[in-house]
Structure 1
Amino acid sequence: MRESFLQLMRGESPDGIVWTADISYYISGHCYRGDGDPVWESELGHLKLARDLGIMPFYWYDHFFLFRAVYDDRIEVVSTTEAQRKICTWTTPAGPLRMETVFAEASWSEAIVKYPVETESDLKSLICLLEHRKLIPDHLDDFHRRMEMWAQYDGVPSAGMPRSPLPAFFVEWAGVQHGVYLMMDFPDLVARAFELLEEQEQPIVEAVCETKPPVLHFPDNLTSETFTGFFDLYMAEVYRRRFEAFHDAGIACAVHLDGVVRGLLPKLAEVGFDAVEAVTPAPVGDVPLEEMRELAGNDNVVLWGGVPGAMFAPPFTWDDMKQHVEKLLDCWEGTRFVVGVADQVPPDGDIDMCSKIAQLIQERQS
């Protein structure tokens, strides 16, 4: 599957169907609960589990982000944990910022319950923080060694850019509600923050172009109901500037669209992405499988996903999943696609379905 995946990323016709799944959420949930194998949490253990399940290894987050943030001595960052609550405080010359994150045992996941940027004053503090921050390359020195190791397991290690400015503002700093109000009320301040966020990417862009991973992930966590209306003004040109560098270096670009599909898919396909990853169709998402390719409006873009993560868990059964995957293969046959989970196998999911899907695909190709 690895070679077929790389063929797709190079714009070529693949030799076979690629099947990949993000099993990191399943692993972390079961290891937290105490009934998972701790070996799964290591890189090699993850690769072996993926091979046993018949999926192409791709997702591995310990070495995913190709950068780290460094602050000068005018910024103080303090992180504390109180029971299930994590608190991070940034002290800046313009004032403090505070973020609170809570771990929810019921879903084995974390959520931000207080974003650091909620007011005009916070926005000014964010700008000050960014003026005293830089991003430096990370996890690139050993990337080619890891490529060789992953090739032994028929996989390709994922590599992630910083989120582009608007998604970073919503996901990491302000949330959607506060973010939208701040964009409407203080456009000049928001524009300055976005300018700084994009400027700080440049050392990462240059280092990535030197390393030349075969595919680069834009982990923007997109969803159409939030981003479609802002895309043309705030996102399209940022993406085009990135593509100019990465495509010249022979690097394919994929973006994470794991929410509502209809508004953004045609825009992402038109702006120049080589692949749109984690696309979630009905019965969980908003677009039927048979409409996805026509909606994209671009025969060259790779549709990557199609298997909702929710279908691994009740009330869905293997019969439901089998019918869905067979329909996916029928609808997308003859087009450029990767069969993938949209976007993760949940901890309460039936992991054996991964092997069954692999067998189903193998039988289809035999």
Structure 2
Amino acid sequence: MQTGWAERECRNRGMGIAWLRPPYVTKLHGVEVTEARAVVDGRAIARRTYTTPVGTVFEDEFREPGTGQWKANRSWLSATPWLMAHLIKGPADFPAVKYIAEHTEYLPDYFPLEQAADWLGEDGIVVDALPHSPLQMFLIYWVGSEGGNCFLHLADYPDLVEDLLNAVSKSREPMYEIAAKSPAPASFCGDNVDGGLLGARLFERYCMPEYEKQAAILHRHGKLMMVHMDGRLDNIKHLIPRTPVDIIEAFHPLPMGDLPLDEARALWKDKVIWMGF
């Protein structure tokens, strides 16, 4: 939400503020990252290239005016950068992306959380900002859903996909431990779950086990786990109660979503539903 009259109106009605900040920094080993400007199909983009011992991959990012000049890496119109070309374009790109995952070191850095908590006081909460689960990274960022591309890769290269997702899941374990020990009361998995795109089978096979792994570590330290489920949830509504997720964040009822709030509340009796209008 932008600062101004809308925020004031919401806060006057009792709404608090939630600040998401990462509890870690990363260090890449054996990976060279470069960024350059280019023009592709008449559009100015930023090309980020990752060079590893097992291959080179790149992604093209379109950034609207203002991106990076104020907050949350958003443009003046509050739009996030748009990936025009994804890291994985075919089977030859899997080894490099796997190498990047396996050679990413996570180091604790709690200052951003401590600073935010000091600034907020009693006006809200600070939450660990963690990335999407491995499958959602694959679907949204590394391959993309355009033209069903992610599903074609799942069908055509199942062994490569499985190997990559397992490597990413393993590499995340130190990150979960770092988040579990942070001063924030809850950790946020920014999964952007949309059952209409993801489907029940993939959600059950890939997302649920990762939630279980993450939640087990967080719960040992008394932390709450929240997942960004801002999409259509009707076709996975029966699976959500089986997850250890404490907070369903950014829930959208009809007409933006496809599941009525009263039905969700009846089904998820032990979950907190955090609205996402």
| TM-score bin (small chain) | 0.7 to 0.9
Q: 1:242 aligns with which of 186, 208, 214?
A: 214
What's the offset of the Cα at 1:84?
A: 4.7
Segments of 5+ residues of structure 2 without an aligned counterpart are 66-75
Q: Measured at CA, do residues 215 and 129 of structure 1 come closer, stay the same or move farther in structure 2, by a change above 3 Å?
A: closer
The answer to whether residue 104 in structure 2 is matched with residue 133 in structure 1 is: yes
Equivalent-residue separation in structure 2 for 1:128 and 1:155 (angstroms)? 39
Asked whether the equivalents of residues 67 and 161 of structure 1 are also in contact (C-alpha less than 8 Å), the reply is no
Residues 217 and 254 of structure 1 are in contact (CA less than 8 Å); yes or no, is this contact kept in structure 2? yes
Match of 2:214, SS state, is: helix
Alpha-carbon distance, 1:215 to partner: 1.2
What is the correspondence of 1:225-304 to structure 2 with a 5 Å cutoff? Answer: 225-227=196-198, 228-294=200-266, 297-304=267-274
1:71 and 2:28 equivalent? yes
Displacement after TM superposition at 1:158 (Å): 2.3
Distance 1:289 1:129, change over 3 A: closer
Aligned 8 A contact 2:127 2:185 in 1: no
Partner of 1:98: 58
| Post-superposition offset of 1:224 | 0.5
Q: Measured at CA, do residues 290 and 148 of structure 1 come closer, stay the same or move farther in structure 2, by a change above 3 Å?
A: same
Contact 1:137 1:203 in 2 (8 A): no
Please state whether the residue corresponding to 2:82 is helix, strand or coil.
strand
- Aligned AA (1:101): E
Q: Select the structure of larger CA radius of gyration.
A: 1
SS of residue matched to 1:156 = strand
8 Å CA contact retained: 1:67, 1:162: no
Structure with the largest fraction of helix = 1
Which residue number in structure 2 is paired with residue 218 of structure 1? 189
More moved, 267-276 vs 127-136: 127-136
In 2, the alpha carbon distance for the partners of 1:160 and 1:108 equals 19
1:149 to 100, 115, 119: 119
- Please tell me whether the aligned partners of residues 65 and 162 of structure 1 are also in contact (alpha carbons under 8 angstroms): no
> Is the contact made by 1:58 and 1:158 (CA closer than 8 Å) also made in structure 2?
yes
Shift of 1:260: 0.8
> Could you give the per-residue CA deviations for residues 3-28 of structure 1, whole angstroms, max 9, x where no partner exists?
xxxxxxxxxxxxxxxxxxxx1xx46x
Aligned to 2:16: 56
State the identity as a percent. Answer: 22
2 CA distance for matches of 1:281 and 1:275?
A: 16
Q: 1:131 to 1:290 in 2, by over 3 A?
A: closer
Aligned residues: 258
5+ residue gaps, structure 1, are 1-22, 28-35, 38-45, 306-340, 343-366
Alpha-carbon distance, 1:104 to partner: 4.4
Structure number with higher relative contact order (C-alpha < 8 Å, ≥ 6 residues apart):
1
2:144 pairs with 1:168: no
Structure 2 distance, partners of 1:241, 1:90, is: 29
Q: How big is the shift at 1:124?
A: 2.2
Determine if contact 2:102/2:168 at 8 Å carries over to the other structure: no
Structure-2 change in CA distance of 1:300 and 1:131 (3 Å)? closer
Return structure 1 stretches of 4+ with deviation > 6 angstroms: none
Change (3 A) 1:151 1:49: farther
- Alignment match, 1:356: none
- TM-score with structure 2 length normalisation? 0.82
Q: Secondary structure in 2 aligned to 1:300?
A: coil
Deviation at 1:146, TM superposition (A): 3.1
Give the conservation status (yes or no) of the 8 Å contact 2:253–2:259: yes
**Which residue pairs with 1:348 in the alignment?**
none
Q: Deviations over 1:35-80 (max 9, x none)?
A: x89xxxxxxxx9x9975685311034xxx233333222x3211122
Does structure 1 retain, via aligned residues, the 8 Å contact 2:24–2:178? no
CA contact (8 A) 1:117 1:178 kept: no
Indicate the RMSD between aligned Cα atoms, in angstroms. 2.7
Q: Secondary structure at the match of 1:221?
A: coil
How far did 1:145 drift?
4.8
- Shift in Å, 1:156: 0.4
For 2:260 and 2:121, the matched residues in 1 are separated by 34
Q: Tell me, what secondary structure is at the counterpart of 2:210?
A: helix
Partner of 2:69: none
Question: What is the letter of the counterpart of residue 23 of structure 2?
Answer: L
- Equivalences for 1:3-18 in 2 at 5 Å? none
